[in-house]
Chain A
Amino acid sequence: MIEAFEILFTASFWVAAIRIASPLIFATMGELICERAGVLNLGIEGIMVAGAFSGWFTVYMGGDLWTGVFVAAMTGAMFGLLHGFLTVPLGLSQHVTGIGVTLLATSLTYFTYRILLPEVTSPPKIEPFEPFAVPLLSDIPVLGPALFNQTPLTYLAYLTVAVVALVLYRTPVGVAVRAVGENPSAVEAQGISVTAIRIGAVMAGSALMAIGGAFLTMSAFNSFFFEMINGRGWIAIALVVFGSWRPGKALIGAILFAAFDAYQVRLQQITGGVIPYQIFLMMPFVLSIVALVVVARRATYPKALMIPYQKGER
C-alpha cells in the first residue's frame, strides 16, 4: 500500500503525467473553442488521426519538425472547414456530421498511408522532438522536471492554454466567439457574421486537435500506428464538459486525468497481474463518464451549442 502511495512523489510519475496530458490539452482546447462558438465537433477523433499522420509523414519525407506541426495544423483546419461548412451554413446535425468527419478523416488517413507507404511491414521511425530542460525551472524538485523537462510541443501546449484563455476573454474576437455560442442573433445585430466566426472557430479548434494527434507521432512516440488515437478525442470532449467550457479548468481536468492514467499504469505493475489489465485500461473511460455525470447537473452549456443559426430568424 505504501508503495502505491509513494508513486505520487516520484518525478518520473509526474513527467509521464504531463506527457500524457499534452495531446489531451491540445485536443481539449480545440474542442473548447468549437463548442464555445456553438459547434460540437465530433470530428475530433478522426482529425487527431489525420494530424498524427500528416505531421509525422512530413517529417518522414525530410521536413523540419515544426513544418510537420504546421502541416498537421493545416490538415486539421481543412477538416474543420468541412465540418464547419456542413454544420454552420447548411445547419446539418452536428452529431451525425461529426461522426461522418471522424469516419472520413480516419479512412482517408489509412488509405493515404497505404498509398504512400505500400511496402512497409513495420512502421518507419522519425527523429521526434527531444526533451528540453528549461534552465533553473527544471531544477525544482519533482515538479521541475515534470513541468519543465519536456519536449517543446508540451511547452506549446501550455502556451496554447494561455493564448486560448487570453483570446477568449480579453480580445474582441474572443468576445465574438463566445457570443455566437450564447446569443448569435445579438452578434449578427452588431454586423458581425455568425457564419464566419463559427467556421473560423471550428477551423482553429480543429487545427489544435490535429496538433494534439501529431504530439503522439512526433513527441510521445516516433512513428504512426493505426488505432493510436484510441479514444483520446472522445475523452477530450468529456474534459471540455468537465472543465465547464473554461480553458483553465479544462487544463486542470486534463492534467488530473493524465495523472490518473499514469498512476493506473504504475499500479498495474505493482499489483503484478492479480487484477486483469483490462480493468486498468478501462479506468480512464469510466472516469470520464463519472466526471460527466458529476458535473452534468451544474454544467452551464453554451446556450447556442448545437443550435444552427439562421440569419433573420427570431
Chain B
Amino acid sequence: MRLEPRATPSAAATILWPAAAIGATIVFSSLLVMIAGASPFTVFFLVFKGAAGSQFALVETLTRATPLIFTGLAVAVAFRARLWNIGAEAQLYLGAVMTVVLGTGAVTLPSAGLIPLIMLAAMLTGALALLGPAILKTRFGVDEVVTTLLLNFIILLFVSMLLEGILKDPMGLGWPQSKRVIAEAQLPRLIQGKRLHFGFILAIVSAIIVWVIMKKTVLGYEMRAVGHNAEAARFAGIPVNRVIAKTALLSGGLAALAGFSEVAGLKGNLTLDLSPGYGYTGIVVAMLALLNPLGVIAAAIFVAGIFVGADAMSRSANVPSYIAEVMVATSLLTMVTAIMLMRYRVRWR
C-alpha cells in the first residue's frame, strides 16, 4: 500500500473523514459501554443530557471548555510551527502561580489595572517556561517533547513546594493551598450565581486574536512556513530559530492564561488539583480543531461536553466516568488518521 498526496482535498473529504473519525470513536466507546454492561443508547443520551440538556449543563460545559480553549490554542499555535509543546500543563500551573503571587494582596490596584497586570505577568511566566525547551531544541538539538514532558513533573513539584512553603495559606487548616485572590483580581461571573466567568470571553477573544496572527501577519506566515518545511523556510530567508522562539513565547503565554483564568475566574485560589490534565487534553482539542484557532473553540466545547456529560452519566448509569478520557484519547487517534486520509489517497498494490 502507498499514499499519494491529493492535489486539493475535496470538500466531501474534508467533511466525511473527520465525521468518520467521530463515528469510529462512538462505535469503539459503545463497545466499552456494552462491556461495562450498559446500553450505549442510554449512556450517550445521558452524556448528551449531562452536557447540554439543561441551562445548568450548558453553563457547566462552557465553564469546563474555558481552560481547554486556552490550552488548545497553545498547542495549536506550537504544533503549527512543529514545536511539539507537550508542556501546556506546566505552563498552566505557572500562570496560576503568578496569579496568586500578584493577586492575593501583594499588589493593590483597581481591577482595571490589576487584572491586565496579572495576565501579562502570567503570560510572561508561561512563555519563558517554554522558551527554555525551544532554545534547547534550536541550539542543542534536544527533543522538546521529552524536555516539556519532564518539565511538567519538575514544575508540578515546584508548585507543590510553593504551596507547602511561601505560598501556603496560613488559614488553610494545613492543606497545601494558596490564599484566595482579592476581589480586585477576580474575573466577574457572566451569569449571576452561575460558575461561568469572564475567562470564557477572554478565551474567545484570544482565539480570534490568534486566528488573526496566524492568517494575517508575517509571523503567522513564517510559523506556517517553518511548520511546513523548516529547511525550505530557512532557504527562503526566514529566521527559523527566531520564529520557533516567538512561537514558544506565544504558546506558553496562552497556556498560562488557562491557569490565570481558572484561579481568577473559577477557583479563587491555587491547589495542586487545579487542572485535571487540561494541558494534555489541549493536544486533543488542537488536533480535533485541525490546528485552526477558531476551530479550537468548538473542539474545546465538544471535549468539555464529553467530560461534563460523562461525569453526570456515571452518577446515574453504572459506567465509570473514565469513559470520557477513553473517548477523548480515541478521538485524537482517529482524527489524526482522518486528517491523513483527507490529504492523501491510499493506493493498494
Residues of A in contact with B (beta carbons under 8 Å apart): 42, 82, 86, 89-93, 95-97, 99-101, 103-104, 106-108, 110-111, 114-115, 118, 230-231, 234-235, 237-238, 241, 276, 278-279, 281-282, 285-286, 288-289, 292-293, 296-297, 299, 310-312
Contact = CB atoms under 8 A, between A and B. Distances in A.
Contacts of A110: 320, 322, 325
B326 A292 contact: no
17 contacts: A82-B333, A90-B3, A90-B337, A92-B340, A93-B336, A100-B333, A101-B333, A103-B280, A111-B326, A234-B149, A238-B150, A285-B150, A285-B153, A289-B147, A289-B154, A292-B136, A299-B141
Contacts of A312: 2
B160 interface: yes
Contacts of A103: 280, 284, 325, 328-329, 332
B336 A111 contact: no
Given A97-B333, A101-B333, 5 more contacts: A96-B287, A99-B332, A103-B284, A285-B150, A311-B2
B158 interface: yes
B202 interface: no
B32 A111 contact: yes
Contacts of A99: 86, 280, 283, 332
User: Helix, strand, loop or mixed for chain B's interface?
Assistant: helix
Nearest to A95: B84
B333 A86 contact: yes
Interface in B77-95: 79, 84, 86
A120 B87 CA distance: 33
Contact of B141 (A42, A108, A230, A297): A297
Nearest to B330: A104
A88 to B, nearest CB: 11
A44 to B, nearest CB: 11
B145 A95 contact: yes
B160 A100 contact: no
B41 interface: no
Contacts of B2: 310-312
B302 to A, nearest CB: 16
User: Helix, strand, loop or mixed for chain A's interface?
Assistant: helix
A107 B325 contact: yes
B154 A100 contact: no
A190 to B, nearest CB: 19
B140 interface: yes
B86 A296 contact: no
Contact of A285 (B79, B145, B154, B318): B154
B146 interface: yes
A114 B333 CA distance: 23
A100 to B, nearest CB: 4
B161 interface: yes
Contacts of B32: 111
A42 B145 contact: yes
Contacts of A89: 1
Given A282-B154, A282-B158, A292 B146 contact: yes
A96 B35 CA distance: 28
B164 to A, nearest CB: 7
Contact of B142 (A91, A114, A231, A296): A296
A115 B284 CA distance: 25
B154 A286 contact: yes
Nearest to B323: A111
B329 A100 contact: yes
Contacts of B170: none
B165 interface: yes
Given A107-B326, A285-B150, A310-B3, A278 B337 contact: no
A108 B151 contact: no
Contacts of A279: 161
Given A42-B145, A92-B337, A276-B165, A288 B150 contact: yes
